[in-house]
Amino acid sequence: MFFKKLSIFLVILFTASSLIAAEKVNTNGNQLNFFIGNFDFSDDKQKAILVGFQHQNENLYRDTFLGNVSPISGGFVTENSAVYVYTGIEWNVDMGEKILFTPSFAPGLYHEGDGKDLGHVLEFKSEVQFSYAASNNTSFGVSYNHVSNASLGDKNPGANSYMFNFIKNF
């Protein structure tokens, strides 16, 4: 019930902010990515709804041997009170026609709550995202990630998740 109400609230918030800020141009380089999806969708016994956010400051980008890289930080919570908080890097690859491909990597801290035991407090998130720029300030996307502890713990079951993203530039 809580996640249903939260989902409705987020849809209203996103719609209102899109209408109010539709004509502004991204001048500060800050980006917020709000997402909702299915945590560990490949495990029928452990799958759960998740909601989260991610911040990117495009002004802190670096040109590296890997290409243009910028820092990210964020987190999510599942309906089973599992929490993951992370910081890492992402690459933004312009695919043309307003399509952006964004792979990322972020180590973080995981607390299982009443959810899935991933085997360690330190977990690593690898993610790919495709997004469509509806305007200069608003994009919609889909993403897939895998969270794993790289065998640091006694067990390493990992979790696969997919999300629907609402991305807002400020």
What is the token pair recorded at 76?
């999510």
163, 37 contact by CB (below 8 A): yes
pLDDT digits (tens, 9 = 90+) for 71-81: 999 999 999 99
User: Does the residue 22 lie in any domain?
Assistant: no
Task: Specify the pLDDT at position 19.
Answer: 41
Say which CATH number the domain at 80 has: 2.40.160.20
What's the structural domain count of the chain? Answer: 1
Indicate if the pLDDT at residue 119 is higher than 60.
yes
User: Does the residue 18 lie in any domain?
Assistant: no
Task: Specify the pLDDT at position 28.
Answer: 61
Indicate if the pLDDT at residue 121 is higher than 80.
yes
User: How far is it, in rounded angstroms, from Cα 163 to Cα 56?
Assistant: 17
Task: Specify the pLDDT at position 98.
Answer: 93
Indicate if the pLDDT at residue 23 is higher than 80.
no
Q: Are strands 159-169 and 30-39 parallel, antiparallel or unpaired?
A: antiparallel
Taking residues 84-101, report their average pLDDT: 91
> Which 8-state DSSP code applies to residue 144?
E
User: Does the residue 148 lie in any domain?
Assistant: yes
User: How far is it, in rounded angstroms, from Cα 133 to Cα 128?
Assistant: 16
Q: Which domain holds residue 44?
A: 34-169
- Dihedral sign, Cα of residue 42, residue 44, residue 45, residue 51: positive
User: Does the residue 5 lie in any domain?
Assistant: no
Indicate if the pLDDT at residue 94 is higher than 90.
no
